[in-house]
Amino acid sequence: MKCTPWEEGTQPLTRPEIRELLPLVPGWVMESGRLVRKYTFPTFIEAVKFLTQVAMVAADEGHYPDVAITEHRYVTISWYTHPAGGLTGNDFIMAARVSKMAKEKGHQA
């Protein structure tokens, strides 16, 4: 699936909608209203390579995550649609795409 372009007035997903979609992105959890997943890598360079791949997919879709690299090998990705003030379908689409990419590259959570 592809992200849909942002339109003014798009409402965030409701809690029941989020509960319905969450099982479709295994490994992702809700933290402070955001869709979050942490990946572990053997080295800092591998973490940066993965984050670069995520950045390329995000740029292609025009939908960007908040990211962090901690302790040199942990990458945390957080999805949230800031203009909507909550999660939208695009956040779940991107979480699924990142999960698929990580699995294809052999990265584990």
Q: What's the pTM value of the predicted model, to 2 decimals?
A: 0.91
Query: Is the pLDDT assigned to residue 82 strictly greater than 80?
Result: yes
Q: Which pLDDT belongs to residue 31?
A: 96
pLDDT band with cut points at 50, 70 and 90 for residue 70:
very high
Q: How confident is the model at residue 9 (pLDDT cuts 50, 70, 90)?
A: confident
Q: At what angle do helices 44-61 and 89-104 cross, to 10 degrees?
A: 140
The number of C-alpha atoms within 13 Å of 71 and in the hemisphere containing its C-beta is 7
DSSP per residue over 26-77, as a string? TT-EEETTEEEEEEE-SSHHHHHHHHHHHHHHHHHHT---EEEEETTTEEEE
Instruction: Give pLDDT tens digits for 12-40.
Output: 999 999 999 999 999 999 999 999 999 99
Read off the pLDDT of residues 55-64 as tens digits, 9 standing for 90 and up. 999 999 999 9
User: Where do the domains of the chain lie, and which CATH numbers do they carry?
Assistant: 30-104 (3.30.1360.20)
As a whole-number percent, the residues of the chain with pLDDT over 90 amount to 83
